[in-house]
Amino acid sequence: MKGTILVLFFMAGLAAGCSKPEDRSACTNSLTLGQDRHIIDSFLQKNGDAALYTFDPQASVYFYIEHPGTGTTKPTIDSLVSFRYSGRLMNGTIVDSLTVKQPPTAPLRSFSEGVYVTYALSKISKGGKIRLVIPSSSQFGCLEMTGVNPVPANSQLVYEYELTDMIPSY
């Protein structure tokens, strides 16, 4: 009997340890887009950047094209791209970064797990740079994430993208 109880506790612990993040109940303390926008607007105002950024209500993201790039050709979903990006918390802590090296061999569609990659790169030409400020309500919400450094719950993120090379379509 005692052995059976121990086995049941072990199995219950094993099952709990193997649960996936989506198995957990949804968090209930997420910020609304309005709350996020207030935080981001204050951040941009404090840093003197408010006039540079535009809020796109369809994508629920702020963007600033630092340099549009050369030429008028912007990548589409079928374009082969090389780019680099970094993601930071608003306090400057790096949480993510990636460099897709030249020559461009990967179609933009292959980066679909990062919807903001497609959004950002489709706004600039080769050599262009763009910054996004992503509200927590559009990204991870009240979930804590791990990357290069931890991303606390309800974090607004600043991403910088540079399109280093591209082949318009294949």
pLDDT tens string 69-98 = 998 899 998 999 999 999 999 999 999 888
- 20 falls within a domain: no
pLDDT in tens, 148-160: 789 999 999 999 9
- 106 falls within a domain: yes
- 4 falls within a domain: no
Average pLDDT estimate for 117-145: 93
128 lies in which domain range? 27-167
Is pLDDT at 38 greater than 60 in this prediction?
Answer: yes
Is pLDDT at 20 greater than 50 in this prediction?
Answer: no
Tokens found for residue 78: 């079928």
- 7 falls within a domain: no
CB atoms within 10 A of CB 84: 15
Side-chain half-sphere CA neighbours of 169 within 13 A: 4
- 6 falls within a domain: no
Average pLDDT estimate for 48-53: 96
SS3 for 161?
strand
Are the C-beta atoms of 78 and 133 separated by less than 8 Å? no
- 102 falls within a domain: yes
Instruction: Count how many domains the chain has.
Output: 1
Average pLDDT estimate for 23-46: 86
DSSP conformation class of 112: T
Average pLDDT estimate for 119-143: 93
- 119 falls within a domain: yes
Task: Calculate what percentage of the chain has a pLDDT beyond 70.
Answer: 82
Determine the pLDDT at residue 151: 92
The domain that holds 144 is classified in CATH as: 3.10.50.40
- 11 falls within a domain: no
Query: d(Cα 23, Cα 51) in Å, to the nearest integer?
Result: 42
